[in-house]
Structures are given as structure tokens and as C-alpha cells.
Amino acid sequence: MVNDYKKRVKTPSKKKTLSQINLALRVFIWLSLGISGVLITFCAAAYIINSQIFLIREIEIKGNANVEKDEVLTLLDVDEGSNILSWDVKVARNRLQKHPWVKNIIVSRSFAPASLSVTIEEHKPTATLILKDKPYLISEDAQVFISAREEDAFGLIIQASKFESSGAEEELHEILKDSMRAVSMVEAKGLKIRDLIIESGGLVHIRLQGGITLVIFGEMTPKKIDMAMKTIKEINPPAGTIMDLTSEDKIVLRNRGGHGSEG
């Protein structure tokens, strides 16, 4: 009876022991596979970085007239011998896109063999803006895109030395857009323009080569240009005549002295 009260020692079952061994083996196998995967990835990355296959052999740059090739390569941060896979094309494109002459850019890569093609679309200067006695070039979409030297003045001269903006950059851009559209409409009628003057508040003087000045505020409409052409044909105003087209329904004529009449 005494033996019935002795402490019994529990022995682990063989089934539980085998289960623990299997779990340990599975953990070891998955750990080994994970380490192997990391090593393989590391070795593959090292191979790609150092492999001659992915080194750029040729770089073609097209469309650049005002941006030097060396400047393009510097902004792209790439050269022959660079690794085409490790090179960040998005960051490079954004950096080159900020160049004032660059309007648009297309970058394409080829991997067999490793090569790079860069096509640049530059702004096309159409006029020169004189703002605060400093010249700036204006693009085909009426954007002031770069400062210029006096000897680099291009196309139509737009004088805005006395222009005072309300503070919004978009204001000048809208005035320039309206002015350039007006220039196109006037030239389409066969009239030759000498230059433009933008006054404070956005009043625009289109000075023709014959000495006549067309004054507009805002958009030049077909009706306004037709009224101006009809007046020029009918009365042949002398040089020094100012034709006020700020109204849509009438035209006001005056000379340089300020005297005028309505038509």
C-alpha cells in the first residue's frame, strides 16, 4: 500500500518528442532557405551591378539646339559605362525637365546592347519681353521661359518696362497670351507690326509699321479686327493715329495729342 503513495515520474511520450523534432527540422529548413534566398539575391544584385552586359555603351541625344550635350549628361547624371539598371531614369528625367530651355523630354532605354536615347523638345522663342529693363524670351505658348542678353533678343519686341503686376504671375501670362493671339490676327490681315507696349493694368498697344497704333484690353476678337481693317480702308488714317479697340461695339480714333472721335 505504501508504494501507491510514491511520486510518479512522467516520461515524455515518443509521439510528442517526434513532433518537436519535426518542428525543429522545419524551422531549420525554412531558415536555411531564407538565408540562401538572401545570399542568392545579394549575389545576383552584385552580378548585375558589376556585369559588363548592363553597362551603357551608347548614348544618343537628339533635338537639343540650346542645351549642350555635356549639360544634358550632367543633369541626367549618366555617361557611357554607367549601369543602365541601377540608373534612376525618373529622377534623371525630372532633373533635366527643369532646364529652362526644355519643354518636353523622352528617355528610352535598350538592354541588348545597353544603350540610351534622349529626345529633347526645346521651347521655340517667338518674341522678346522687356520687363523692368531686362529682356526675357517668350515661347510659342506665351510663356516667359528664360532671361536673355540684349544681343539675344528674338522676334517681336514686347515692351513692358512700366508694367506693374498685381502679384500673380498668371496675370502677365494671360496678358501675353491675349497679346500673341492679337498679333496673329493682325498679321493674318496683312498688317505688319513694329512692336508691342504693355501698360500697367494690361492695356496693350500694337504699333504697326505704318505709324498706326491699335489699343486693346483683353482679347482681340474678329469683330474688333474687322472694324479696324474697315476704318483703315475707308479713311486711311495718318501716321500717329491711335485706334482704340477696347470696346466691342465701337472704335475710337485719336491722334498723339489725345484728341479723338468715335466711329
Domain locations along the chain = 15-45, 53-122, 127-262
pLDDT tops 50 at residue 1: no
Q: On the CB side of 77, how many CA atoms lie within 13 Å of its CA?
A: 10
CATH class of 53-122: alpha beta
Which band of pLDDT confidence, cut at 50, 70 and 90, is reported for residue 48? low
Strand partners, 110: 115
pLDDT tops 80 at residue 160: yes
Over range 177-189, report the average pLDDT. Answer: 95
pLDDT 10s digits, 133-157: 899 999 999 999 999 988 889 999 9
Confirm whether 53-122 and 127-262 share one CATH topology: no
pLDDT tops 80 at residue 120: yes
Question: Cβ of 77: how many Cβ atoms within 10 Å?
Answer: 13
pLDDT tops 80 at residue 12: no
Q: If you average pLDDT over every residue of the chain, what do you get?
A: 85
Distances (CA, A) of 164 to 135, 138, 180: 16, 18, 19
**Which range among 159-168, 195-204, 214-223, 243-252 shows the weakest confidence by mean pLDDT?**
159-168
Exposure letters 3-32 (e unless 16+ CB within 10 A, then b): eeeeeeeeeeeeeeeeeeeeeeeeeeeeee
pLDDT tops 80 at residue 260: no
Over range 227-237, report the average pLDDT. Answer: 92
> Selecting from 3.40.50.11690, 3.40.50.300, 3.40.190.10, 3.40.640.10, what CATH number does the domain 127-262 have?
3.40.50.11690
Please give the pLDDT value at position 14. 60
pLDDT tops 60 at residue 42: no
**Which range among 47-51, 95-99, 104-108, 153-157 shows the weakest confidence by mean pLDDT?**
47-51
How far does the chain reach from its first CA to its final CA, in angstroms? 137
pLDDT 10s digits, 209-226: 999 999 999 999 999 999
